[in-house]
């Protein structure tokens, strides 16, 4: 695995590790969902929130199946890195894990359920999730592939899947969580 993939995995792991204890567990998923719902202005007791929680629980189970090498119910940074090694956007493993989280986050941001979100909604969710305002604005430019001020579900999914697979530090998807060093 290249240094580029390592750096991207480490950045994503740091965002997922919402309690900062150096490992991912279900508690991190609950905290992350809370941030996403708050960042998307989705009421915690709404049907949409329940759906997002269920989707993230499904993602967590799939990620555990794929990345929890020792079966202890938590994922370390090294396990996360190893799980992401050499994945391509067409790899069934990444489709069964990353796409679930991608769709759940998008669903939270898509307040009118039209499969499009305004760029401002993405920026708000990213900054609430711990991404700097500058990096969130850059991410919005990456996701809005056609520059029309809205991001479709497919634009969002495509950029995230590219994020996991491209080893080019200058590729647009490599900038989703900020410029790489």
Give the ranges where the chain is alpha helix by DSSP (H): 3-16, 26-39, 47-67, 77-84, 92-109, 119-128, 133-143, 153-165
Q: Widest CA span of the chain, in angstroms?
A: 45
Percent of the chain with pLDDT over 90: 51
C-alpha span between 125 and 102 (Å, rounded): 13
* pLDDT tier, 95 (very low <50, low <70, confident <90, very high otherwise): low
User: Domains in the chain, ordered, with CATH?
Assistant: 3-175 (1.10.238.10)
Give the chain's mean pLDDT: 88
Q: Quick one: pLDDT at residue 88? A: 62
In this predicted structure, the answer to whether residue 8 has a pLDDT above a threshold of 70 is yes
Q: What is the mean pLDDT of residues 100-113?
A: 88
pTM of this prediction?
0.84
Beta pairing partners, 177: none
- At residue 162, φ and ψ (nearest 5 deg) are -65, -35
In this predicted structure, the answer to whether residue 1 has a pLDDT above a threshold of 60 is no
C-alpha span between 83 and 155 (Å, rounded): 24
C-alpha span between 56 and 100 (Å, rounded): 7
107 vs 89, more confident: 107
* pLDDT tier, 20 (very low <50, low <70, confident <90, very high otherwise): very high
Q: Quick one: pLDDT at residue 92? A: 72
34-56 pLDDT, tens digit per residue, is 988 888 888 999 999 999 999 89
Q: What is the mean pLDDT of residues 62-85?
A: 90
């Amino acid at each position: 695995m290249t240094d580029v993939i390592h750096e991207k995995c480490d950045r994503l792991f740091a965002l997922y590790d919402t309690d900062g204890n150096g490992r991912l567990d279900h508690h991190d998923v609950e905290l992350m969902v809370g941030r996403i719902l708050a960042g998307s202005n989705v009421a915690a007791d709404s049907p949409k929130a329940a759906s997002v929680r269920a989707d993230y629980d499904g993602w967590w189970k799939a990620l555990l199946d794929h990345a929890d090498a020792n079966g202890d119910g938590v994922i370390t940074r090294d396990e996360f890195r190893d799980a992401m090694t050499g994945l391509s956007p067409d790899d069934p493993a990444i489709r069964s894990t990353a796409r679930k989280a991608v769709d759940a986050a998008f669903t939270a941001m898509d307040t009118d359920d039209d499969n499009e979100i305004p760029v401002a909604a993405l920026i708000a969710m990213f900054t609430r999730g711990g991404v700097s305002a500058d990096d969130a604005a850059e991410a919005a430019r990456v996701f809005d592939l056609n520059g029309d001020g809205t991001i479709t579900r497919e634009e969002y999914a495509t950029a995230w899947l590219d994020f996991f697979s491209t080893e080019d530090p200058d590729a647009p998807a490599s900038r989703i969580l900020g410029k790489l060093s």
